């Protein structure tokens, strides 16, 4: 089930649209499995994922050094704190009222996009045994800004300013959560069951695509008794 967390800001409107751009084969796999894949956060492209900013690290070092009087111990505390991120698995979405030309350009190899809403995505985990959190990413300057210390959700919900155009809403599976400790979690990632009928409102096709995905997609939907819109991009029009 989806659970709100006080450290994770939520969209103001339940109707806030969310988008996930993905290859067509992954979409078919999603429909076949009725599950979302959450890779471990260490497998994300951004090298700063889940880490502290430079200023936060400096502050943390001073606090730990005053406690132990030993630089090695202080550095070890920082390293141990940052390793908490390895217990997180993430699934990322783009917040936008409309489809994004920029996102299509960035993900040029992805033939389609799932469009849902905040209300749909939170409700779609209603029968999922795992505890899923989610929230909007906060973008800060990792060279100049600091972040609060003391909650493991803070580093995994902040990203460096160059990524702010992603407007990311992030789903999080924390394997250390009490409800998730009985779930077998592979190191690379985990598939979380989800109600696709609630999740997917529309599928949009990449405006640059020359392939016709309608037939295979309709067949996959029919096999699972799913009904949602399949739309061509407005950019193409």
How far, in Å, are 11, 37, 148 from residue 168 at the CA level? 11, 17, 20
- Does a structural domain hold residue 172? yes
What is the pLDDT at residue 115? 96
10-residue mean pLDDT profile of the chain (237 residues): values are 94 96 92 95 86 92 87 90 93 94 84 95 95 97 91 94 94 95 92 95 85 82 88 75
Q: How confident is the model over 53-91, as pLDDT tens digits? A: 999 999 999 988 888 888 888 899 999 989 999 999 999
What is the pLDDT at residue 120? 97
Q: How many domains does the chain have?
A: 1
Q: What is the pTM of this model?
A: 0.91
Q: What's the CA gap between 43 and 189, in Å, rounded?
A: 9
- Does a structural domain hold residue 178? yes
Q: What's the CA gap between 86 and 79, in Å, rounded?
A: 12
What is the pLDDT at residue 237? 53
What is the pLDDT at residue 94? 97
Domain that holds residue 160: 17-48+88-232
Q: What's the CA gap between 232 and 190, in Å, rounded?
A: 31
- Does a structural domain hold residue 141? yes
- Does a structural domain hold residue 128? yes
- Does a structural domain hold residue 4? no
What is the pLDDT at residue 68? 80
- Does a structural domain hold residue 9? no
- Does a structural domain hold residue 3? no
- Does a structural domain hold residue 227? yes
Q: What DSSP element (H or E) covers 18?
A: strand 17-22
Q: Is the dihedral of CA 116, 118, 120, 125 positive or negative?
A: positive
Q: How confident is the model over 185-194, as pLDDT tens digits? A: 998 999 999 9
How far, in Å, are 3, 192, 194 from residue 189 at the CA level? 20, 10, 16
Tokens standing for residue 26: 């992954």
């Amino acid at each position: 089930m989806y659970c709100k967390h006080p450290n994770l800001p939520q969209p103001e409107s339940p109707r806030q649209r969310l988008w996930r751009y993905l290859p067509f084969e992954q979409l078919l796999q999603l429909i076949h499995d009725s599950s979302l894949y959450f890779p471990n956060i260490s497998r994300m492209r951004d090298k700063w994922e889940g880490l502290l900013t430079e200023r936060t690290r400096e502050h943390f070092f001073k606090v730990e050094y005053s406690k132990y009087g030993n630089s090695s111990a202080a550095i070890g505390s920082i390293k141990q704190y940052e390793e908490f991120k390895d217990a997180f698995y993430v699934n990322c979405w783009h917040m936008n009222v409309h489809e994004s030309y920029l996102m299509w350009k960035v993900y040029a190899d992805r033939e389609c996009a799932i469009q849902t809403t905040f209300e749909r995505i939170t409700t779609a985990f209603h029968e999922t045994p795992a505890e899923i959190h989610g929230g909007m990413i906060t973008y800060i300057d990792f060279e100049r800004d600091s972040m609060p210390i003391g909650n493991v959700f803070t580093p995994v919900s902040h990203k460096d300013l160059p990524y702010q155009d992603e407007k990311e809403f992030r789903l999080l599976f924390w394997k250390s959560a009490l409800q998730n400790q009985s779930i077998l979690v592979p190191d690379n990632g985990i598939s979380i069951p989800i109600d696709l009928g609630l999740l997917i409102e529309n599928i949009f096709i990449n405006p640059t695509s020359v392939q016709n995905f309608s037939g295979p997609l309709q067949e996959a939907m029919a096999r699972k008794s799913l009904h949602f819109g399949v739309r061509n991009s407005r950019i193409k029009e």
